[in-house]
Amino acid sequence: MSPCIRVPVLVVGGGINGAGIARDLALRGVRCALVERREFGSGTSWASSGMIHGGLRYLQKDPDVTLHSCVDSGAIQRIAPHLIFRIPFVMPVFPEDPIGPELVEIGLEMYDQYQPFKNGRSHTRLSRAEALRLEPALSPRLECAFTLDEWGVDAARLTAANALDAAERGAVVLTHTELVEWLREPGGGRVVGGRMRDRINGEEFVIEADVCMNAGGPWVPKLAALAGVEVRLRPGKGIHLVFERRVSNLAVYARGVDGRDMFTFPHEQNSMAGTTDDDFYGDLDRLEATEDEVAYVLQAMERSIPSIRRHRVTHTIQGVRPTLWGFGKNEDELSRDYVVVDHARDGAPGLFTIAGGKLAAYRLMAEDAADRLCTALGVREPGRSATTPLPGGDGALDVLATAKRFRTPVAAVVRLGFRHGTRTSQVLADHDTDLPMDGATAPRVVCACEPVLDAELRHVVTREGVRRLTDCTLRVRLGVGACQGAGCVGNAVAVLADALDWSAARCVEEVRAFVDERWRAVAPALGGSHLAAMEIHRHSFLAGRGFTS
Amino acid sequence: MLRGYRGFAHEFARTGSLRALWMQLRTGAAHVARRALGRDPNGDPIEVFLRNYAADGFRLPDAESAALSLAAEACLVCSLCSAECARVGGAPRIDPRDAVIAASRMAIDWVRLELPEPIATPCAACRACETVCPARIPIQRVQEWLAAPRA
Amino acid sequence: MKAVVVGGGLAGSSAALELASRGAEVTLVCAAPGATALSWGTLDVAAASPLRRGGLPLRDPASGHPLAPIVRLHAVAAANPAHPYATLFRERGPEEEVKEAVAALDAWLAPSGLRVHGSLAQTRWLADVHGALRAADLAFSGAGEGDLEGAEEIALVDVPGLPGFEVRSALRTLAAEMAAVGLASRALSIVRLALPEALRDDAAQPARFARNLDADAARGALQDAVAALGAEGRLLLVPPVLGLDPAAGTRAWFEATAGCRAAELVGAPALSLAGFRLDRALGAALSRAGVERIAGRVERVEIEGVRVRGVQLAEPGPPSRPADTAMLPCDALVLATGRFVGGGIVERGGQLVEPLLGLPLHDLAGRRVDSLAANQLVRGDYEGEQPLFGTGVRTEMRLRPLGPDGLPRFANCFAAGDLLGSFDPARDRTGLGVALLSGHRAGIEAAAC
């Protein structure tokens, strides 16, 4: 008989919604199991623009959506201040733009009324000369420009933080674990849990639950089908280009050749440009940007920033949005953007699905879903996710003091702060005690581009449940800089191998999977000054590092 | 002046709710009135912008910083600059390779954190590192830029 | 006769030294270090990668006997008729020329303290900083003394605080790979170098640490610690920080102090000084041979019909030359500008181009690619064939690049090194071998034209 876990709630899908729901439930004292088939957020969440935005575009349709988005952006700032950073935007208006600057400004004046909810600033209006002074790289063809601001976030870390908080509060949280089949009650057809398979060691086990939540993002239809119910989505693929470093510290609006809004915006250490939105019919597990998508994004950016092609693109990121098809079968449908569905009406009681939505609304969506699940369970606890800080979000980090205390470069502590907030000291303190060698040595830099320290790698393995080298791309931003892993993967895998007792063969497997993933991201946008880096990259991995077959 | 309101009909038609309609009319009327009567007395928009975002580390870009950042993008993380610096006996506080990697990335963070000292100390400026850089990055200028006090 | 060589890596330097030894007046123009300076210590002529898909085999598939490097070279040429080895050795076999070129290189580098170790009759096994095995044809001093054969036991030296070297993982990998290639098992251990307080901070900066070891002060402080590492029959494998200047003999000092064999591990991008040393040693050899070295870029090549007349430098020449000598006349030109790292091939305006002469470029399969973008020439399989990374100029047998009509573009222009197309140096591990042999030949041909 396979081992069994019994919980009130089983959440399948470790993206921002699944993780958010698990955390919300855990805060209410409801124990749940959260299973994710890869790494947290590795489906859609990590590939978002990484902005907790206020929903400017909804002002025309339904200002309530904008209000809720702005209020919730404020909430996320309070619970995870370490994960967010402000992004000032500049919006150039060109003579050929269909919407005139006065209309744009009216829209921004409306938006200004919501800014206080998210600690945002009012817009400003810039003449052509002023705009070019603010951002000299802008196209001089602009007639005027406007500024506003939004908040950026490391979406992968936000997802992981939610999952970690859930785990710390008693949830069973498993990565690299997939649902093989739903468990049904004989006769009634009630969904009572799932049979799981650990994708790393192959072990199968059962999780029994009173209610189950399908939070699989673009995999929602597939998971639903396993229970014999239909959830229709219109999956929309979106890519971003990632530049080697900041192109600007401002975000710049651009318009695609088809009129779509896009931007080049700062994100962590870099700038990103995007995004696209195309109906997707392919394999969700082998997602790659295409040359056409790359060309489309660059063409759009060039209009606002003529010199954009001079900048070095290191790789692409890509994801598929779980956009709702639009179905009206269930009267419990909430807002236009997302739904929480009770499949009792589809003959699968006990199973819920959450689909659609956007990253910025995750906390609201999760709270809503948790409300529904609690109702089904007969639990009357209110949600507390808007007011309880996420791990590391309960204060400010003293960067200088921490750097001095642990003999660590300040640059590294800054980046640690962005990922771990107040827990940074713990990350560095653990390092001293974890090492089996006698005499403590200062943490060493493994990845120069970020930088990532061996201490942080050890931390995410021993305390954050990281199980594979590829997880580290999302969890600590390993190998996503200039060298794309050529200089760091060899040593990163060694740190993980030490902590997880990997065999040499396992190390090779992990490196190979990592390199394959990097290559799929690099190849579509490869060109310019990145060619030299990839020449070195190939020498590094093909001439050395074993690759035992 | 009317050109500034182009697209009005199209955008108006897209309005999705009475609430939105009311907001647009109210804000729109106030806007037209304000524009007709002259510019807002809020002051120089650049000053306003900088005041708004100073605490986040944002400073006006300058041509030198932008040029250095662009040049630094070509870095191969090859560490030849570190080797040559060591060979000639240099010991800058920040290794040339780390300086190039950090250029532009740290600038905004450093200002935001209000660190009391510059990140780098001025190096000997011998430019030995530049002679071996395959990407021909002006490393000494990068070091100088990082060593400059942040306004 | 006056010759100009563009590019100062192994290919360009070999060509220049060969030209100089044949009495030519040689000027070598070099903008910046390239792939040679980023190499890790081995000189791969046709090195085996038996553990990797698509790598050259270690043994003859029929007989099971280990293949000599020179035999693998033949196999490379036979398998890919467009490979530079096929071009070079179509009419005469490689044996004599390879021996000659290697001996010449060894002689040029020896005064700088760098020697070429190994022979082309037999593959040797070296270990790298990750513990992975490198089947090495030849290797330079430093790593070259680290042949695993003949060592009764092997000890990896842990240098505390040195980034880029994870010793426990390296040990596990080394053990596994030695078993995988069928090397006799022997005792593997980790020994720790007890660094005195003064040197501990330095270890965080590998290049500085290496430089300090070249001096008596650090050596004195480490004397006892190094001596404690030795044991009879042991081979000590140290991360590649044994000195910055090969002439200082740090590796030899380490070996003598320890009382047993000691060598460096082959490097990797995060930790390597071998290429740096090689680059400097080549520069010193050029000076000794009387080659004029100009640090700078070539702006334009002056041509007249089918002959190259000279090169125009982007900046004025050095003060040693008469005024206004940004123009270097020449009777022969050797292009050894490398591939992407060296800048011999760049992508401009979304198109691949050879920037000096606009020579046609061909990919690994021989298709003309100079109007294509780089991202159109890559395939999904990282370990498989990549047309982009086999791109370069095609030449005829005398190494003169071909023009669009398939005939040599110029009578007196030659190409060598990574600029040559139809081979993928990373995948087939022939990079420095092609550089040395094509550079050597280009020098001979240029001197004769």
Residue ranges per structural domain of chain B: 2-41, 59-147
Q: Is the pLDDT of residue A545 over 60?
A: no
How far are the Cα atoms of A318, A516, A524, C262, C390 from residue C378, in angstroms, in the given order?
Answer: 18, 13, 8, 42, 10
Over 90: is that where the pLDDT of C63 sits? no
Chain C positions in Cβ-Cβ contact with residue A534 (cut-off 8 Å): 340
What mean pLDDT is reported for chain C?
Answer: 93
Highest averaged pLDDT of the listed ranges A425-439, C57-71, C284-298: C284-298
On whether residue C108 sits in a domain, the answer given is no
Instruction: Name the residue among B76, B77, B87 with its Cβ closest to that of C244.
Output: B87
Q: What single-letter amino acid sits at A190? A: R
ipTM of the complex: 0.95
Ranges A487-496, C175-184, C228-237: which has the least confidence: C175-184
Examine the domain organization and report whether A219 and A295 are in the same domain. no
Residue B115 pLDDT greater than 70, yes or no: no
Q: Between the CA of residue C90 and those of C72, C81, C99, what are the distances in Å?
A: 15, 9, 17
Q: Are residues C438 and C308 in the same domain?
A: yes
What percent of chain C lies above the pLDDT cut of 70? 98
CATH number at residue C398: 3.50.50.60
* Contacts B23 to A, Cβ<8 Å: 59, 63, 110
Q: How confident is the model at residue A331 (pLDDT cuts 50, 70, 90)?
A: very low
The pLDDT confidence band at residue A437, using thresholds 50, 70 and 90, is very low
Does C165 have pLDDT greater than 60?
yes
8 Å CB contact between C110 and C22: no
C20 band by pLDDT with thresholds 50, 70 and 90: very high
For residue C153, give its domain range: 144-264
- pLDDT-derived band at A328 (thresholds 50, 70, 90) equals very low
Q: Which of A291, A446, A549 sits opposite C51 (nearest CB)?
A: A549
Distance CA B51, CA B73 (A): 30
Q: How confident is the model at residue B40 (pLDDT cuts 50, 70, 90)?
A: low
Maximum mean pLDDT: which of A463-467, B32-36, B58-62: A463-467
- One domain for residues C369 and C223: no
Q: Measured between alpha carbons, how far is C247 from C266 in angstroms, rounded to an integer?
A: 19
Higher pLDDT, A511 or B117: A511
d(CA A458, CA A467): 11
End-to-end CA distance of chain B: 39
The answer to whether C426 contacts A525, with C-beta atoms less than 8 Å apart, is no
Q: Give pLDDT, residue B110.
A: 63
pLDDT at A305: 97
Residues C297 and C424 in one domain: yes
pLDDT at A190 over 50: yes
Strands lying side by side in the sheet with C292-295: C292-295, C25-30, C2-6, C332-335, C413-415
* CB-based contact A524 C375, cutoff 8 Å: yes
Q: Which domain holds residue A337?
A: 4-44+156-234+323-377
Q: Which has the higher per-residue pLDDT, C52 or A397? A: A397
Long-range contacts of A131-135 (CB under 8 A, 24+ apart): A131/A90, A131/A92, A133/B46, A133/B60, A134/A90, A134/A250, A134/B46, A134/B49, A134/B60, A135/A90, A135/A248, A135/A250, A135/A252, A135/B61
State the best of C36, C250, C273, C298 to mutate against chain B, taking most chain B CBs within 10 Å: C273
Residue B107 is predicted with a pLDDT of 66
Flag whether pLDDT at C119 surpasses 50.
Answer: yes
**Would residue A75 count as lying in a domain?**
no
Contact between C116 and C203 under an 8 Å Cβ cutoff? The reply is no
On whether residue A352 sits in a domain, the answer given is yes
A264 and A409 together in one domain: no
**What residues have CB less than 8 Å from C37, skipping those under 6 apart?**
B78, B80, B132, B134, C9, C275, C276, C278, C279
Q: Which structure tokens are listed for B38?
A: 């002259």
For residue A310, the domain's CATH number is 3.30.9.10
Question: Are residues B72 and B103 in contact, defined by beta-carbon separation less than 8 angstroms?
Answer: yes
Taking alpha carbons only, the member of A200, A261, A333, A318 closest to residue A57 is: A261
Let me know: does A318 contact A294? Beta carbons within 8 Å.
no
User: Nearest residue of C to residue A530 by CA position?
Assistant: C340
Report yes or no: B67 at the A interface, CB cutoff 8 Å. Answer: no
pLDDT at C96: 93
Inspect the interface and report whether the beta carbons of C207 and B76 lie closer than 8 Å.
no
Q: Are residues A490 and A535 in the same domain?
A: yes
Number of domains in chain C: 2
Chain A closest CA to C343's CA: distance in Å? 8
Element (H, E) at C303: strand C298-304
pLDDT of residue A329: 35
Q: What is the mean pLDDT of chain A?
A: 91
- State how far the Cα of A368 lies from the Cα of A534, in Å rounded to an integer: 46
Query: Greatest CA span in chain C, whole angstroms?
Result: 68
- pLDDT at site A368: 95
In-domain check, residue C51: no
The answer to whether C207 contacts B87, with C-beta atoms less than 8 Å apart, is yes
For residue C338, what are its two tokens? 């490398």
pLDDT band at A61 (very low <50, low <70, confident <90, very high): confident
A 175-194 residues with CB < 8 A to C: none
Q: Tell me the count of A-B CB pairs closer than 8 A.
A: 165
C197 shares a domain with C150: yes
Q: Is A505 on the interface with C (CB under 8 A)?
A: yes
The pLDDT value given to residue C185: 81
Phi and psi angles of residue A147, each rounded to the nearest 5 degrees, phi first: -120, 150
Do A411 and A505 fall within a single domain? yes
Structure tokens at C308: 């190259």
| Most A CBs within 10 Å, among C158, C167, C382, C434, to test the A interface | C382
Q: Is residue A433 part of a domain?
A: yes
Distance from CA of A449 to the nearest CA of B (A): 6
Residues of C in contact with B136 (CB under 8 A): 31-32
Phi/psi for C364 (5° steps) reads -60, -35
Burial (0-12, 13-18, 19+ Cβ within 10 Å), A280: buried
Q: So what's the pLDDT on residue B22?
A: 87
Q: Has residue C101 got a pLDDT over 90?
A: yes
Residue A388 counted as domain residue: no
Through-space distance between the first and last CA atoms of chain C, rounded to whole angstroms: 10
B3 to chain A nearest CA, in Å? 6
**Per residue in C353-390, pLDDT tens?**
999 999 999 998 889 998 899 999 999 999 889 999 99
**Structural domain tally of chain A?**
3
Query: How many whole angstroms separate alpha carbon A153 and alpha carbon A76?
Result: 10
Q: Cβ A527–C425 below 8 Å, yes or no? A: no
C263 token code pair: 């060598």
On the question of pLDDT at A236 being above 50, the answer is yes
Helix (H) or strand (E) holding A221: helix A220-226
**Res C324: pLDDT:** 55
Q: Name which of C130, C385, C430 to mutate to probe chain A: the one with the most chain A Cβ atoms within 10 A of its Cβ.
A: C130
User: Cα torsion at A272, A274, A280, A284 (round to 10°)?
Assistant: 10
- The whole-number pLDDT of residue A434 equals 58
Neighbours of chain C (3+ CB pairs under 8 A): A, B
Any idea what the CATH number is for the domain that residue A357 is in?
3.50.50.60
CA-wise closest residue to B86 among B43, B116, B123, B141: B123
- Minimum distance, in Å, between the CA of residue C342 and any CA atom of chain B: 7
Where is mean pLDDT largest: A23-32, A444-453, C40-49?
A23-32
Chain A, window 469-498: residues with a beta carbon less than 8 angstroms from a chain C beta carbon:
483, 486-488, 490-491, 493-495, 497-498
In the predicted model, what is the mean pLDDT of residues A54-58?
74
Residue B89 is encoded by which pair of tokens?
């006996």
Interchain contact, C44 vs A445, CB within 8 Å: no
Q: Considering only CB atoms, which chain C residues are within 8 Å of B83?
A: 207, 244, 273, 276
Residue from the list A86, A106, A449 with its beta carbon closest to the beta carbon of B24: A106
Instruction: Assess contact for C15 and C336: CB atoms under 8 A.
Output: yes
Chains in contact with A via at least 3 Cβ–Cβ pairs below 8 Å: B, C
- The verdict on A464 and A534 lying in the same domain is yes
For residue A239, name the pLDDT band (cuts at 50, 70, 90).
very high
What's the distance, Cα to Cα, between the start and end of chain A in Å?
A: 36
Span B32-54, average pLDDT? 84
Cβ of C52 within 8 Å of Cβ of A503? The answer is no
- The confidence score (pLDDT) of residue A440 equals 52
Instruction: Provide the edge-to-edge strand list for the sheet that holds C187-192.
Output: C187-192, C153-158, C234-238, C261-264
Put simply, the answer to whether B133 touches C32 (Cβ < 8 Å) is yes
Rounded CA gap, A235 and A282, in Å?
10
Tell me what the mean pLDDT of segment A260-265 comes to: 92
Task: State whether A167 and A226 are in the same domain.
Answer: yes
Lowest mean pLDDT among A142-146, B36-40, C311-315: B36-40
Q: Is residue C441 part of a domain?
A: yes
Domain's final residue, options A377, A407, A422: A377
CB contact under 8 A, C208 and B76: no
Q: Which residue has the tokens 């994710």?
A: A36
In a domain, C371, yes or no: yes
Chain B residue with minimum CA distance to C37: B80
Burial class (CB in 10 A: 0-12, 13-18, 19+), B3: exposed
Residue A531 and residue A465 in one domain:
yes
* Bridge partners for C413 per DSSP: C333
Q: State the smallest CA–CA distance between residue C51 and chain A in angstroms.
A: 5
Distance CA A264, CA A272 (A): 5
Q: How far is C32 from chain B, CA to nearest CA, in Å?
A: 5
- Measured distance CA(A75)–CA(C233) in Å, rounded: 67
The residue with greater pLDDT, C276 or A51, is: C276
Interface test with A, best of B15, B22, B68, B76 (most A CBs within 10 A): B76
- Looking at C264, C287, C313, the residue that finishes a domain is C264
Cβ–Cβ contact B86 with C under 8 A: yes
Kindly state whether residue A55 falls inside one of the protein's structural domains. Answer: no
Indicate whether C329 pLDDT > 90.
Answer: yes
* C56 against A124, higher pLDDT: A124
* In a shared domain, residues C366 and C300: yes
- Cβ of A490 within 8 Å of Cβ of C163? The answer is no
Using CB atoms, pick whichever of C32, C211, C270 lies closest to residue B86. Answer: C211
Is C4 in the B-facing interface, judged by CB distances under 8 Å?
no
Structure token pair of residue C242: 């044994």
Q: Is C315 found in the same domain as C200? A: no
**How large is the average pLDDT for residues A496-517?**
92
> In this complex, which of B82, B85, B136 lies closest to C32 when CB atoms are compared?
B136
Chain C residue nearest residue B79, CA to CA: C270
Question: Quick check: A519 contacting C, CB < 8 Å?
Answer: yes
- Indicate if A169 and A281 belong to the same structural domain: no
